[in-house]
Structures are given as structure tokens and as C-alpha cells.
Amino acid sequence: MPVSPPPTANAAVTRDRTAPPHVPGAGVLLVVAFVLVSLNTRVSFGQIGPLAPVAGFSPAVISLLGLLPPLCMGAFAPLAAVARRRLGEERGLWWAGLVLVAGAVLRMLGMPGLITGTVVVSAATAVVNVLIPVLVRKRFPRERVGTMMGVYALSMGAGSALIAAVVVPVAQATGNWQPAIGLAVIPAALAAVGMTTQLRQQPPRPVGTSGTERSGRPHVARTAVAWSLTAFFGVQTLAFYTVLAWLSSILVQAGHGRGAAGTGQALLICGVAVGGFIAPVLAAKGPDQRPHILSTVLVCVAGLTGLMLAPSSTSMLWVIVLGLGLGAGQALPGVLYAHRGSDHAHVTALSTMAQTCGFLFAATGPVLAAALHTATGTWTAPLGALTAALLISAAAGMRAGHDPE
């Protein structure tokens, strides 16, 4: 696969898009490194759900471990801009990989280590989340941005699903949950090793400060496109984490057994992986992503409506539909950052703002859904509230879908 930066928009950003020296096999090494990082991005977060019944975690612990990732990914996302300015994208991702390894090891050290390590892993993942779209924009041709963001989303889902599938057998075979949690060390170490191949290809570091004025550009928080991106990403991420936390309970209340509810969770993850691959591939083909934003929201709304109103015999169909929409909603913002950003610093600033605010907002979703469920005794109210929020986000996200004439 050829590796070249996209054409420069103007002379002011020429240094920002300088290509690294050619190295034989560089394209293959870059793709391998990219896939290894992508596989690792959500591994640690997918272990707790299937492991909780076997490990005997209390509801309070499960709630805390579900709340920490989005909360910490929002709080630590601004670190990515600092890492990029001081280290560049490749070295920033490499250091984040090392921190992921440390956090994965720490999570094996009893309950205090599990909680502390989750914070560490979430902080490193926040940096990866922000830098991945910047790396894609810089290192791959513009026509392959959508494909690589799709590969990122598909690999992320595949890595999470694979580890989630083996944690229970490992815990049962060893009689302890620590070895099962320790499985996350393997993909974390592979990701760090993969990024090691990219350190020699580090281009000149960009000048300027992400989010500040550069070549007359206002601070990112003063622009409509940044707030539009934040609204779309925030609501999509809130819906994703809310459904991920409570889907099993929703299916059980609909009349399914716990085994079927577990199957539903697996189908959701599969749908997320497929939707996460398809959406960016389609969206990157043209300059206008507004139809893709609207389609993503409508697919999510169809899935939620089916879960609320359709017979329980069709629930699994609607779970798959919902997974496709939620996966698209998690992957599509990466294309939006790359297309709306005028240079690498601007892409970083847009990604940082959307993910900082979006993840912090998303952390409230599972808690608010639980409160609505407790107050009404049914999951219809939380699902209806999610549907309304998604429809609002479709309107709010339109500005993020195109460049003004």
C-alpha cells in the first residue's frame, strides 16, 4: 500500500504534511502497526461484562468499572494534543502503547489494581482515540482515509470481541479472574511493538499550537463545526455506552433468558464492528457527509424503536440493526475530523474537543438510563429518551457534515 500524505491545502501547512523518508516495506509496516493499535483500543473495556458473573464482582464495582472508561477518556483526551506537539503522532502512539501495557499489568493486581489500572488504560486510550484520525490523515492518501478508519473500527470491535470470548474459559480454568484480565497485556504489548517500527519515520514536528489561532484561524471552540462535531459524537457515544451497559437487562425484561441476553450482547458487538467498517468507507468517498450522518441516526432510531415496540421474537434483529447504527456512529466522526480539519493541528483540535466533551457527556448515559428505569419500572422511557436525543443530534450534526460554500 503506498504511503503518502494528502495534498497540501496551502503553503502555510507544507511543513505539517512533509512525508517521512522512504523505507522499503514502509507501507506494510505502517498498516500492520495501525491494525495492531486498533485491535487493542477497546480490549480492556470488553472484559468486565462477561467476566462479572464468574468473578463475583459486586454491582457497585461493575458500575464503577463501566463509568471509568468514558469518564477518563473524556478527562484525558487533551493530553493527546500535548503528546502530538512534543512527540509527534507516531511517538505519541508508541508511548500510549507503553502506558497501555503498564495499565493492563496493573489491572491484574487485585481489586485496587483493577480500578487503578482501568484509569491508566483509559488515559492511554484517550490519547490513541485522538491521534488515530490525525495519523490516518497524515500517513495515508486522502482517498484511503475512509477505508483506514473503517479498518480501525472493525479491528477495534474484533479485538474486543475476541478477548471477551476467552476471558470466561480462562477464569474458569484457572479459578481466578486475574489471569483472564491479564490477557489484555498481549494485544497491548503487540501494539507497542508495532508502533516501534514507525519511530524512525517520524516527520518534522508541526509548528503551532492545536486549538489556538494559526494562520488567522480562530480557536476551535469558537467554531460552529467543532460544536456540531461534538454534539454528534457526544450523543452517539452516550447511546453506545448506555446500550452496552443495559442491553442484557433490556432483553431479559422483554422476556428473554440470560443466555439469550448474552447472545444479544454478542450480536450487538458484531453489528458495531460491521457498521463501524462500512460507514467511514462510504462517507469518505465524497465531500458531503450529511446524508451519512442522517442515515446513521435513522438506523439507530430504527433499532431502538424495534426494541421498544416490536414483538420480543424479533428482538435480535433489532439488536443487530442498532449495532450497525451505533458502530457507524462511533467510526464516522473520524472521517469528519479528517475532512473538516484544514491541517493536522486542526484535526487534532477538533478530535480533542469532540472527544473530551463527548466522553464526559457519555459517562452520564448509563446512570441516567438506570434512574429513568427505576422511576418508570420499564426500559421504554430510557430508550425513548435516547431516540429523542439522537434525532436532535442529527440536526445539530449537519454542520459537521460539509464545508460551507
Can you give the pLDDT at residue 232? 94
Residue 217 bridge partners (DSSP):
214
pLDDT, tens digit, for every residue of 10-45?
Answer: 433 333 444 444 444 557 777 888 888 888 787 777
Q: What is the DSSP letter of 217?
A: B
Q: Which amino acid is at 245?
A: A
> 132 φ, ψ to 5°?
-60, -50
Can you give the pLDDT at residue 201? 57
Residue 199's nearest CA partner among 88, 113, 97, 112 is 88
pLDDT, tens digit, for every residue of 155-174?
Answer: 887 887 787 778 878 888 88
Residues in the chain: 405
Q: What is the pLDDT along the chain (405 residues), one digit of tens a residue?
A: 444 444 433 433 333 444 444 444 557 777 888 888 888 787 777 777 777 777 777 777 877 887 888 888 888 988 888 888 888 888 888 899 899 999 999 999 989 999 999 999 999 999 988 888 888 878 887 778 788 888 888 888 788 778 777 887 888 888 888 898 888 888 888 888 888 888 875 554 554 444 444 445 668 888 889 999 999 999 999 999 888 878 878 888 877 776 676 677 778 888 888 998 899 889 888 888 999 999 999 999 999 999 988 877 888 899 999 999 999 998 898 889 888 887 778 888 888 898 899 889 988 888 888 889 889 988 899 999 999 999 999 999 999 888 775
Cα three-residue angle 52-58-60, rounded to 5 degrees: 115
Can you give the pLDDT at residue 7? 42
C-alpha cell at 54: 464468574
Q: Which amino acid is at 291?
A: P
Determine the 3-state secondary structure of 292 from DSSP.
helix
Alpha-carbon distances of 375 from 113, 226, 370, 371, 382, rounded to whole Å: 35, 35, 9, 6, 10
Note the Cα 391 to chain centre separation in Å: 21
Contact 15, 207 (CB under 8 A): yes
Alpha-carbon distances of 294 from 145, 279, 300, 319, 333, rounded to whole Å: 20, 12, 10, 19, 13
C-alpha cell at 404: 460551507
C-alpha cell at 366: 448509563
Contact 361, 234 (CB under 8 A): yes
Can you give the pLDDT at residue 207? 47
Query: What domains lie within the chain, and their CATH numbers?
Result: 24-206 (1.20.1250.20), 220-405 (1.20.1250.20)
**Interacting residues of 383 by C-beta distance below 8 A, sequence separation 6+:** 250, 304, 307, 308
Residue 383's nearest CA partner among 254, 255, 286, 258 is 254
How far, in Å, CA of 355 to CA of 332, rounded? 13
Can you give the pLDDT at residue 324? 94
Burial category of 266 from C-beta neighbours within 10 Å (exposed 0-12, middle 13-18, buried 19 and up) = middle
